[in-house]
Amino acid sequence: MKNLKIPWLSSGVLIFANLVQLLGVFLFHWDFFCLSFAYWPEIFIILFFTYLKVQKIKKHGGSTDGVKEGFEVMGIAIIASMPWSWVIFSYLIFELKFPAYKVLCSFLILFMSHWVSFIVNFLGDKEFVVLPVQQIMKNVIKRCVTVVSIIILGVIFHIGFAYDFYHPPKIVLVCIIFIKIILDLLFHIAEHKKSIDSLRVIS
């Protein structure tokens, strides 16, 4: 395990998965509502893979202290974002412009990004051996807060800069996408670099 590196593969897939949203903006003319609705379900993807990680650590004999608190915070994040997400969904439905299959494609690509990280880093590099549940829950909370914050930030951008709330300048949407990429990437690298350093110590 001496040659473990920063997780370039999963980091690259993460960037690709988020850049796909640019196709929605430029090719399919997504507005803020479409973009937000494409991002919001990522909270549930994070929840799903967090559950798998906790079960793996538990099966391996590791401590699960802090799991309850972590899932409670994730629940709060979901509940806090639901009213706004319902507004988004209602707008898309009533405006008859809900891009169902396009948003589904975005969801699947984001799922693929988390799946690659889970397989390559958590299982392949045996992060479950050294990565404590408390650290996993901290990282999960950061990712969930990022998703919710991006939605809120989008609202601020609209109010502050967009002439038309429903059809903002594309540069606003591009900024939102790149801010999310940067935050996701920083949290992702920090999370896996810690586990890599721990594996180097025990090896």
Q: pLDDT tens digits, residue range 142-179? A: 888 888 787 777 666 666 655 555 566 788 888 888 98
Indicate if the pLDDT at residue 106 is higher than 50.
yes
Residue 3 covered by a domain: no
Q: Could you tell me the residue range of the domain that residue 121 belongs to?
A: 8-202
Banded pLDDT at 90 (limits 50, 70, 90): low
Does some domain include residue 114? yes
In a domain, 2, yes or no: no
67 assigned to some structural domain = yes
Structural domain contains residue 185: yes
How much is the pTM?
0.78
113 located within any domain: yes
The total number of structural domains in the chain stands at: 1
Closest CA to 14 of 159, 146, 196: 146
Q: Which one has a higher pLDDT value, 55 or 94?
A: 55
Residue 70 lies in a domain: yes
* Kind and range of the H or E run holding 143: helix 133-161
Is the pLDDT score of 47 beyond 80? yes
Q: How far apart are CA 30 and CA 13, in angstroms?
A: 22
The answer to whether position 24 is within a domain reads yes
